[in-house]
Amino acid sequence: MRGMSGLHEECGVFGIVGGPQTRAARATYYGLYALQHRGQESAGIAVSTGNEILHHKAMGLVSEVFDEKRLATLPGSMACGHVRYSTSGRSLVVNAQPLVVRYRGGALALAHNGNLVNAPSLRATLEQEGVIFETSIDSELIANLVARADTGNIVEAVLSAMRVIRGAYALVIMTPDTLIGVRDPDGIRPLSIGRSEDSWMLASESCAFDAVGGTLVRDVEPGEVVTLNRSGVMSHLSGLARPERLCIFEFIYFGRPDSVMGASTMYVVRKRAGSLLAREAPARGDIVVPVPDSGISAAVGYAETSGIPFAEGFVKNRYVGRTFIQPEQALRAAGVDLKLSVLVDVVRGKRVVLVDDSIVRGTTILRLIRKLRAAGAVAIDLRVASPPIVCPCHFGIDTPSRGELIAAGLDVAAVCQKVDADSLAYLSIRGLREAVGGNGSCDACFSGQYPMEVPDEGNKLGLEQAEVEHATK
């Protein structure tokens, strides 16, 4: 998967428990559909009948994996689901989620978003004890640890596992009679609680609640375990919580614009970032053009603050997925041309201020700038609504190695020349933090300040070659 230019998103998780008439599988289908932007390789749903757990998962989009006939085979008023984007692990159905395991204490289904930084050592220890793994994902480690610790109290088993694992994780765990949500002690990966008239829900983003007629109640706190039933939510504190370090790329890119994290929608945060970018890095331009769709909100903010008119310079083919999801480099490169076409009449003869959310390798933005020049743009001033990405992520986002990050080895002037722009400016880390507001965030990809000890670069690459997935789902 390393031949692609963008940051690879992590996964989406969803869970629901309702009354006897709740069609949990159908609600989960709609919830996952709303979270499809978080993972587009595989999808799965598990349901509880009250006595057992049934499930179905397969490669493909939610709408490809499930239809009316398939949903009818998943009866029950409690369910959990998952959409996955694989990173260094193999893109195989065996690695799709939710994972369903059966053990001496019963059965459980587990849906995971995140990455364990100590997965290799944990896996080695368990294998030495005779444990056999069916997948290459670290989610199976969590399921195994919970199952081993379960002596009749599933919450205590989860808390026991949390004391062993390190890294980023948002979990939805379902037993035949309990729905559980878990968030890592640093709160790096998001997880929220929602409710509707007769149901309680968990999801990676609040947009999933909207899709099933629900509303956001609150975020699961860092280090918190919650159990849900028809009557409400019970909180269990792990004692491991630290100040929240929610991944800052949720605000920059991953979260859907209408999702709420902290006190603001992602749209408001991104628009604010664009406004601050216009103050920090003004440009002489005739029009402000966003890179669709991720640059739109920031471009609106930049245009409003700068007074330069906003214009749509690209037309997007809505039936082409995000370019970096393509598993082959040749397909990814062709996907840029299939996905975006230039509106020649809009950009011809104009000085364009091109706004994007981030630059990773620089290959995609180079192609877009060349397309604008071919369409007659006389100058292109590139403005980026986040700082330079100089360090890889170890917590569930599949960033390239440091050597592949364009800003890790080049200064701003050199990056500008490399992507064929007339000028280039990034939003400062201070500006981004201001845009995000009071939310504590992990910004290690910009600052290099990780919230915990992480594997070194050589170790990371070696594990990838061994196909031990420690950058998740």
Handedness of CA 328, 331, 333, 338 (dihedral sign): negative
Task: Please enumerate in sequence order all residues whose Cβ is within 8 A of that of 280, keeping only pairs 6 or more positions apart, or say none.
Answer: 425, 427, 428, 431
DSSP state of 8: B
Task: Please enumerate in sequence order all residues whose Cβ is within 8 A of that of 414, keeping only pairs 6 or more positions apart, or say none.
Answer: none
Q: How does DSSP assign 278-325, residue by residue?
A: HHHS----SEEEE-TTTTHHHHHHHHHHH-PPB---EEE-TTS--GGG
- 9 near 59, Cβ under 8 Å? no
Handedness of CA 346, 331, 383, 422 (dihedral sign): negative
Cα 116 to chain centroid distance, Å, stands at 15
Supply 405's token pair. Answer: 């990050």
Q: How does DSSP assign 367-412, residue by residue?
A: HHHHHHHHTT-SEEEEEESS----S---SS-BPPPGGG-HHHHS-H
Residue 155 CA neighbour count, 13 Å, CB half: 16
N-term to C-term CA, the chain: 12
Q: What are the φ and ψ backbone dihedral angles of 111, each rounded to 5 degrees?
A: -120, 130
Tell me how far apart the alpha carbons of residues 433 and 441 are, in angstroms, rounded to a whole number: 8
Tell me how far apart the alpha carbons of residues 38 and 9 are, in angstroms, rounded to a whole number: 6
Tell me how far apart the alpha carbons of residues 453 and 459 are, in angstroms, rounded to a whole number: 13
Handedness of CA 283, 286, 290, 296 (dihedral sign): positive
Q: What are the φ and ψ backbone dihedral angles of 224, each rounded to 5 degrees?
A: -95, 145
Put residue 440 in one of left, alpha, beta given phi > 0 → left and psi -120 to 50 → alpha: beta
Tell me how far apart the alpha carbons of residues 330 and 308 are, in angstroms, rounded to a whole number: 37
Q: Which of 11, 80, 247, 442 is an active site residue? A: 11
Active site (annotated) includes residue 11: yes
Tell me how far apart the alpha carbons of residues 118 and 20 are, in angstroms, rounded to a whole number: 41
Supply 449's token pair. Answer: 């300040």
Looking at the annotation, which residues are catalytic? 11
